[in-house]
Amino acid sequence: MNDDIRRILLRVAYDGTAYHGFALLKDDSETIEGHLEEALGSLHGEPVCVIGTSRTDSGVHALGNAVVFDTASSIPAENFPDAINTRLPSDIRVRSAMEVSSDFHPRHTDTIKTYRYAIDNERIADPLRSRYFMHVGYKLDTDRMNEAASPLVGEHDFKSFCSVHTQAKTTVRHITGIKVERNDTEIYITVKGYGFLYNMVRIIAGTLIEAGRGKLDAGDVSRILQAADRSANPAPTAEAKGLTLMDIDFLSLGPA
């Protein structure tokens, strides 16, 4: 890379409601990546390509996604958020920026990602939660949900917990932790791991919801996992709006 070119890492937050996911689409649909590239292009006066770490699906939110781009600009890294945010829609924000080494690639670097799935567990849905929570009107037992989550922690073949349309070379993934917590009528499922398959967290959430209503237990989840077949899992894929990418921890983020 040219010595005058710097690589900048941005931490990005967004409300995914109005967007067709993170990744740029050929049909010019509204995407997070598209708006970031448009804003950076406006700032630089020429096209800028961004590389995203996590290509969140349509309707999924983020507080801590990450992208990189290359620039010859002399703007200090810490000033990029203010410069970019004035060019972005109000539901997309760059929260921080830092310079990284020129060979840093966000999708070729080991990470631990943290996702949170939010459930509105009131009998009648709270309209103020409707953009960010999935409503479940029947009472959920969070102790059962935590018990059912335990077989999923560790390295396993998660073929029973991903979309049949996944194009991953392997369906083996490593989850480092799952925690289900209740705060009055709000339930949060937090899932941490080294990587996730297409719809994996939403299917895990759907499975734990079934456990919370008494339809599945830890033994059922273990058998579903061992089957390595999505058709062996009766749980639906939970709604996209309840899912937020909370954080991405780069395990080998070296200095610029």
Which residues are part of the catalytic machinery? Answer: 57
Token readout for 210 is: 């079934």
Residues 6+ apart with CB under 8 A from 98: 8, 9, 77, 78, 256
Report d(CA 71, CA 51) in Å as an integer. Answer: 13
23 three-state secondary structure: coil
Q: Are 189 and 119 in contact (CB under 8 A)?
A: yes
- Other CB atoms within 10 Å distance of the CB of residue 149: 22
Task: Tell me which DSSP letter residue 194 carries.
Answer: S
Report d(CA 159, CA 45) in Å as an integer. Answer: 45
Residue 92 identity? I
Report d(CA 32, CA 10) in Å as an integer. Answer: 13
Q: Are 89 and 30 in contact (CB under 8 A)?
A: no
CA 249 to chain centroid = 12
Q: Are 158 and 193 in contact (CB under 8 A)?
A: no
Q: Are 161 and 232 in contact (CB under 8 A)?
A: no
